[in-house]
Amino acid sequence: MSDLPVCLYCQHANPAHQAECRECGMPLPASAAGAGERRQRRFMWFCVGLSLFCVAMFFWLPRSMT
């Protein structure tokens, strides 16, 4: 597979020197290298934040009223 930048909207491969997609005209991503790693890091931080939220709600919410 070539190292051509791929449009995030229409998935069309474009020449490396272009700033906009030839098919849809949307701006191309500045750097496709490392996008998977950034996505994985963002997902990890989302999971950490969600876990912290759940722990906080466990102590914050009242116990059963019976």
Exposure on the CB side of residue 47, measured as CA atoms within 13 A? 6
- Residues 42 and 50: their CA atoms lie apart, in Å, by 12
**Per-residue pLDDT at 41:** 94
For the stretch 18-57, pLDDT in tens is 888 999 998 887 765 666 788 899 999 999 999 999 999 9
Nearby residues of 13 by Cβ (< 8 Å), 6 or more positions away: 2, 4, 5, 6, 7
**Per-residue pLDDT at 37:** 84
Give pTM, 2 decimals. Answer: 0.50
**Per-residue pLDDT at 57:** 95
